Amino acid sequence: MSEGEGKKAPYTLPIGPTHPALKEPVMFTFQMEGETIKDVDFAPGQTHRGIEWMGMRRNPVQIVHLTDRICGICGVVHTLSFCLAVEQIAEIEVPERADYIRVIVHELERVQSHLLWAGVAAHELGFDSLLHLTWRVREQAMDVIENITGNRVNYGIVQVGGVRRDITPEQHPLIEECLTTYEGLLSSLLDLFLDDRSIHMRCRDRGILTYDDAVHLCTVGPTSRASGVNMDLRQDYPYAAYGDLDVRAILPDQYAGETRGDVYDRIVVRLLEVGQSCGIIRQCLSEMPAGEITAEPKIAKLLAVCKKAHGEAIGRVEAPRGECLHYVRMDGKESPTSWKVKASSYSNLMSWIPMLRGEQIADIPIIVASIDPCLSCTDRVAVIRGGRRNILTKEELHRLSVEATRRLQA
Amino acid sequence: MIGSWELALIVLSAVIVTVYGIVVGLFLLGIDRKLAAHMQARVGPPIRQPFIDLRKLLIKENVVPDNAIAWIFNLAPVVALASSIVILLYLPIGSIYPPLGAYGDLILVMYLLTIPALCMVAGGFASGSPYASIGAQREMVTMIAYEFPLAIVVVAVAWRLAAAGIQDPFTLGSIAAHPIWSVAGPLGIVGGLLLLLVMAAVTPAELSRIPFDTQEAETELAGGLLVEYSGKNLAMFSLSQGVKTLVMAAIVVAIFIPWNISSLVLLPEGVALVADLLFFLGKVILVMFFSVSLVRVAMARFQINQVVSVFWIYLGLIGLVGLLLLMADAALPAAGVII
Amino acid sequence: MKLTRSFNRSLWAFHFNSGSCNGCEIEIVAVITPRYDPERFGIKLVGTPRHADVLIITGPVVKKMKDRLLRVYAQIPEPKVVMCVGTCGISGGVFYDSYNLEGPVDEVIPVDVYVPGCPPRPEAIIHGVVTALTKLERLQEGKP
Amino acid sequence: MTGTILTPEEVVDRFSAKFGTGIQEASIREKREGKKKIPHYTIWIELDRELLRPAIQALIEIRYPHLSVIAGNDLGDSIRLVYIFSIQYGEIRSEYMVTLAVTLPKDDLFVPTISDLIPGAVFGEREKQEFFGVTVTGIPDGRRLFLPRDFPEGVYPWRRDETGIPDSMIRDLWASKRPTDRPAPPVEEKEACEIEGGEEKPAEPRGKGEEEGSQ
Amino acid sequence: MSSLPMIPELLRQLMRKPATNLFPAKYLPPSVTEFLHSVASGKAHLTPPVKTPPKFRGKIEYQKDGCIGCGLCVKVCPSHAIELLPETKRIRIWVDQCIFCSQCTDMCPKGGLRMTDEFLLATEDRYEENLIVE
């Protein structure tokens, strides 16, 4: 065809850990033939901070804020599943109102996270206008979240035993307004994403994950639902207030009439879930019971209760990216003896390999993004220790600082 | 032989055209960014932003990577810019006859158009970065892809003009003087519109803009061809990008919308010149808006094989239909059929 | 090399994640979207350090990322500005003790402007840019 | 997605019937939340190492399980691995968690791989190899997952014994460049109050005793 | 245009006002320093940032008069930002370390800690006076 395509010798293409296609650090090694991917290998763990290890040295109240920062996008889900586990060990009964507030914040997070993802996916396709559009409308959800929790990201609203802030009646109209906007926007968003010829060309039948692969590789969340696996903790294993609400998993055949397990189906699932979340929040707002918002408002007392607790438990929630699981074991000390975080992306990363095989370089960004990877979640555990020698000595650091001053004054 | 007086005139006009090309090219980039920003509900940069960016790039350090072939790496941007400016010398600007119009025609322009692209390919390969190499390969593929429909457009227009008995149908001067719309009949006008569509699609590819910017794809190749360029060299490339934008828009204007104010309204000579220039600028901005700004914000990027199939299959077919329509248009009246 | 005002008005930024939680990443992307749009100040995000003037770093420096951070820093052509966004890059923040962190960003490369916040609001990041500009202007006037 | 839906008791009964005394302990824990207090269940099973694979086979016979994660504890002289599954997903409100825990003595640290039964387990098994020093026999891909190639041999970050992270590897980021000689601002003379709780140095939340006690 | 549904949307937006909040000014003033000076002296107008909600978690404020030096805030602080000063039995908060979680303000038995609206904290020196609350 041309000189470029004619060269078919296999070669290796490394991508990462810092590459514009990857919003987070991960190291890929592709075996290429021309523009086609023959094989893939990847090394996560570029952002390990050893969070679990830190957690095993801190008390539950501190850990709650640490879990918030396992991942900036899925702030509430990690905290929630950690709290669910600790509450189970310490036998703390969470007030019903707190369950509802947890669900509301949880679903608001899902709305903003899916919109965020949609924008990022559009950006990976080179469709910046859609990035700007989705992120523009996302700001309304961010405003509501900021209003409820006091911060745009890292909400810090969930605490062991309940929630830290109530949703007051004055905030209801604000949330309602936001929901109305999104419900109105949804059909046009679906049009913009799913009817667009150029998106269709890039996403249909790209990065296919079959039903069997999805099950065998233990994928979770929208990634597995897009492959037709009926799996949603909110329906299967109702936690918090989801038992009272009638949630059903969203599968792509509800929109397109068929399931192909490709990137397109993942867009379908996520966009439809935005609408679903709006419905859930609406229902929660109208059915929210009155009462306390926390089982133990006195933090000092809460710490004492946690210190006495013995046992192990699992907290599990359906994060925007899929199942998020925290295993906690406490042995009557201030800090837990074991804490294992399983972020949703941890389960989904393996699915990259069947998805990417046989695709093109151009598809890498969108396929990698299509599982909505959250590597800071996944990487939290492992330790990256002294990989290489410390290249920078003190003198060099000094030299760099001197240069820094000079280069600005020059 | 060229007389010395004539040579001096050409040199003088070349200098003027260079300055004009650079200023207007950057101005076009500024307008493009502003329009795109507005369409995305943003305020966007001030229109003079490309000038500021250029000034900044010129004071920045110019890094040549260790594993690059330095002379090609440094030469490529200069040649790219120079060749884009040279093309301008063959294009009519407003009612001004191109300074080199007598020495080259549309075929030459077509060849010249490949030089900036080839420079980017050479620069990309010389950078010694895998991303730049992939970008360079893609640039070549893209170039081969869009040359075919572009050739159809040029040939079709020139052929129709020749069939109408116009002298030198390939020179831009005569194409501009005899708009295809006034020469062709109704069938030909339909054909011409199809060719205009093809030309509008070739323009973003030539300028490596979305959806045909596979060679620079930021999210895939981190800037692709230009990944290793910085400072002065990058400034040259961005300048040639601006000039090329003007060139492509001017070619579309010359082939398809060549009218001038002065040919429609009687104006004093100086005023007419200015009016034509402004009108020309308006046409260029219009062409750029529809075929670059709007398209680039309204579409996703194609894959490289999709780029090839779009140009060879879809646009190639559309171009051929346009060509056939123009031929039929010329043949039918000649055969005595009145439509 | 004389720094001119045109440098201040055309800051191209390269974003580097040295081990952050993504919160700051999101807010940085949020900054470039229509509601905040720093392109009106000539700021844009670029995909390669070679094109960049500003290095935006988020997160404490994970051991594995330290070398890459140094390499990216070296790849940015002079003159350059380093902005550290988010508490954990500034001081470790919630990750204040660990065995796999190399330390706050300023232990690895010199930082010009710090933007505290966890994560900072988008306006705070814009304010960080304004702070960087005042620093540049001060240096251009020859004051320390 | 078809098949009978089992209650958690039935699941436990199946296991005890099949493996008898190999099951050291089996319990069902229930949790109810929300207004309607709809329950969800976690089944905890402690079993012998030899029964791990047959038990997973038994799970697959019930319904192909979803492996969430493999967690672990360091119990002092042994490592306990907790395989966390969920079964019957897709059935409205009938999903249960099933955790299979095996205890491995530290002088005989190995566990058979389950990745031929559940391909997605490779990730977790690779992780357990590097973090607990557990040998997974028969693992198809035994490379390190998160740790770099030149990570010191014999250091396992999640162990709480001498093979854990040594103090020399810990770095206090908060202390970086912080001025230490800053004088305390003067206070208007009032009654200086007692420090509650009698903590000597509360500015140092990592209590030493607690750290040693946990090792 | 049914295959490119974005085009009508874009053209509509072209006619509308941008959604941008013009903080701190529409374009960059010729000199930022001078602009900030004239804002300070009331000569120029600065577009404020998007309004913060009522219970926004901004920079911390400390009333040291009521403080009893109980150290509870130090105990719950997840980011080691609070230091107890043994000489005066008061605390010092290193804002460069603070993660704005508001846990200490919830905890304080005397209500001496409060989150303010201030969030524009960018600085050239992370240990400058403005970022040490004591």
Q: Nearest by CB to A216, from D84, D118, D150: name it.
A: D118
Contact C64 A120 (CB under 8 A): no
- In A15-54, the residues whose Cβ lies within 8 Å of chain C are 17-18, 20, 23-25, 45-51, 53-54
Residues, chain B, total? 339
In a domain, D215, yes or no: no
Q: Which CATH number fits the domain A51-378, given the four candidates 2.60.40.10, 3.30.360.10, 1.10.3720.10, 1.10.645.10?
A: 1.10.645.10
Task: Establish, for the pair of chains A and D, how many residue pairs have beta carbons separated by less than 8 Å.
Answer: 183
What is the predicted pLDDT for the residue at A25? 65
What is the predicted pLDDT for the residue at A381? 36
What is the predicted pLDDT for the residue at D203? 42
Per-residue pLDDT of chain B (339 residues; tens, 9 = 90+): 567 887 887 788 888 888 888 898 888 889 988 888 888 888 888 888 889 888 888 888 887 777 778 888 888 888 888 888 888 888 877 777 777 666 777 788 888 888 888 888 888 888 777 777 777 888 888 888 888 888 888 888 888 877 777 777 777 777 777 777 777 777 778 888 888 888 888 888 888 777 777 666 665 666 667 777 888 888 888 888 888 888 888 888 888 887 777 777 777 777 878 888 888 888 888 888 888 888 888 877 787 778 888 888 888 888 888 888 887 877 776 555 544
Residue of C nearest to D147 (CA): C64
Say how far apart CA B17 and CA B22 lie, in whole Å.
Answer: 8
With contact defined as 3+ CB pairs under 8 Å, the chains touching B are A, C, E
Residue of B nearest to A122 (CA): B300
Residue span of the structural domain in which D91 resides = 8-169
Q: Do chains B and D touch (3 or more CB pairs under 8 A)?
A: no
Q: Nearest by CB to A383, from D34, D94, D147: name it.
A: D147
Phi, psi of A247, deg, nearest 5: -100, 135
DSSP state of B310: I
User: Average model confidence (pLDDT) for chain A?
Assistant: 80
Between B29-43, B205-219, D38-52, D130-144, the lowest mean confidence (pLDDT) is in B205-219
Q: How far is D9 from chain C (nearest CA, A)?
A: 41
DSSP state of C143: -
CB A17 within 8 A of CB A2: no
Q: How far is C131 from chain D (nearest CA, A)?
A: 22
The tokens of B38 are what? 């507005």
Amino acid sitting at position B97:
Y
Say how far apart CA D143 and CA A44 lie, in whole Å.
Answer: 13
E75 has a chain C CB within 8 A of its CB: no
- Grade residue D208 by pLDDT with cuts at 50, 70 and 90: very low
Say how far apart CA B187 and CA B192 lie, in whole Å.
Answer: 9
User: Average model confidence (pLDDT) for chain D?
Assistant: 79
User: Nearest 5 degrees, angle CA A342-CA A347-CA A350?
Assistant: 140
What is the predicted pLDDT for the residue at B101? 66
Using the predicted structure, report yes or no on whether residue A61 has a pLDDT greater than 60. yes
Contact D127 A385 (CB under 8 A): no
For chain B, strand residue ranges (E) read: none
C137 has a chain D CB within 8 A of its CB: no
Amino acid sitting at position B58:
L
Task: Establish, for the pair of chains B and C, how many residue pairs have beta carbons separated by less than 8 Å.
Answer: 84
What is the predicted pLDDT for the residue at E29? 83
In a domain, D175, yes or no: no
Strand partners, D72: D81
Please enumerate in sequence order all residues whose Cβ is within 8 A of that of C99, keeping only pairs 6 or more positions apart, or say none.
Answer: A50, A53, A383, A385, D157, D165, D169, D170, D171
Contact A150 E19 (CB under 8 A): no
Please enumerate in sequence order all residues whose Cβ is within 8 A of that of A331, keeping only pairs 6 or more positions apart, or say none.
Answer: A310, A337
In chain E, which residues have their Cβ closer than 8 Å to the Cβ of C116? Answer: 95-96, 98, 121-123, 126, 131
In a domain, D44, yes or no: yes
Which of B225, B301, B308, B312 best probes binding to A when mutated, by most A CB atoms within 10 angstroms? Answer: B301
What is the predicted pLDDT for the residue at C70? 87
Contact C87 E23 (CB under 8 A): no
Alpha-carbon dihedral of residues C96, C97, C98, C104, nearest 10 degrees? 40
What is the predicted pLDDT for the residue at E127? 87
Q: Per-residue pLDDT tens for A66-93? A: 888 888 787 788 899 999 999 999 888 8
Q: How far is D177 from chain E (nearest CA, A)?
A: 9
Q: Nearest by CB to E19, from B41, B46, B297: name it.
A: B41
Contact C126 E27 (CB under 8 A): no
Helix (H, G, I), strand (E, B) or coil at A330: strand
Closest to B298 measured CA to CA, from A185, A363, C39, E8: E8
Q: Per-residue pLDDT tens for C32-48? A: 888 888 888 888 888 78
Domain boundaries, chain E: 19-49, 52-134
Using the predicted structure, report yes or no on whether residue A6 has a pLDDT greater than 60. no
Contact C50 B219 (CB under 8 A): no
E57 has a chain D CB within 8 A of its CB: no
Q: Does domain E52-134 have CATH number 3.40.47.10?
A: no
Q: How far is D143 from chain E (nearest CA, A)?
A: 35
CB D106 within 8 A of CB D80: no
* Residue B17 CA from chain centroid, whole number: 16
In a domain, D65, yes or no: yes
Q: Nearest by CB to A376, from C21, C29, C107: name it.
A: C21
CA distance between the termini of chain D: 46
In chain B, which residues have their Cβ closer than 8 Å to the Cβ of C7? Answer: 56, 59
Contact E75 A59 (CB under 8 A): yes
Using the predicted structure, report yes or no on whether residue A174 has a pLDDT greater than 50. yes
Q: Nearest by CB to B219, from A13, A123, A132: name it.
A: A123
Phi, psi of E50, deg, nearest 5: -55, 135
Closest to B92 measured CA to CA, from B285, B280, B283: B280
Q: Do chains E and C touch (3 or more CB pairs under 8 A)?
A: yes
The reply to whether ipTM tops 0.90 is no
Q: How far is C42 from chain B (nearest CA, A)?
A: 6
- Grade residue D202 by pLDDT with cuts at 50, 70 and 90: very low
Q: How far is A341 from chain C (nearest CA, A)?
A: 14
Q: How far is A70 from chain B (nearest CA, A)?
A: 26
In a domain, D202, yes or no: no
Residue of B nearest to E11 (CA): B39
Contact C103 D148 (CB under 8 A): no
Residue of A nearest to E51 (CA): A143
In chain A, which residues have their Cβ closer than 8 Å to the Cβ of B144? Answer: 2
CB C109 within 8 A of CB C83: no
* Residue D152 CA from chain centroid, whole number: 23
Contact E69 D185 (CB under 8 A): no
- Grade residue A407 by pLDDT with cuts at 50, 70 and 90: very low
What is the predicted pLDDT for the residue at C3? 65
What is the predicted pLDDT for the residue at A7? 44
Contact D185 E84 (CB under 8 A): no
In chain E, which residues have their Cβ closer than 8 Å to the Cβ of D190? Answer: 65
Residue of B nearest to A367 (CA): B220
Domains and CATH numbers, chain C: 5-140 (3.40.50.12280)
Please enumerate in sequence order all residues whose Cβ is within 8 A of that of A303, keeping only pairs 6 or more positions apart, or say none.
Answer: A59, A60, A61, A334, E75, E76
Q: How far is B337 from chain A (nearest CA, A)?
A: 41
Q: Give the Å distances, CA to CA, from A218 to A214, A328, B287, D119.
A: 6, 21, 52, 8
Which of D171, D172, D191, D195 best probes binding to E when mutated, by most E CB atoms within 10 angstroms? Answer: D195
Closest to A257 measured CA to CA, from A267, A265, A266, A249: A265
Between A304-318, A321-335, B53-67, the lowest mean confidence (pLDDT) is in B53-67
What is the predicted pLDDT for the residue at D199? 41
Contact B218 A199 (CB under 8 A): no
Higher-pLDDT residue of C3 and A22 is: C3
Contact B40 A19 (CB under 8 A): no
Q: Per-residue pLDDT tens for A289-300? A: 988 888 888 888
Q: How far is A61 from chain E (nearest CA, A)?
A: 6
Residue of B nearest to A133 (CA): B40
With contact defined as 3+ CB pairs under 8 Å, the chains touching D are A, C, E
Say how far apart CA B180 and CA B188 lie, in whole Å.
Answer: 8
What is the predicted pLDDT for the residue at A395? 43
In chain A, which residues have their Cβ closer than 8 Å to the Cβ of E4? Answer: 196-198
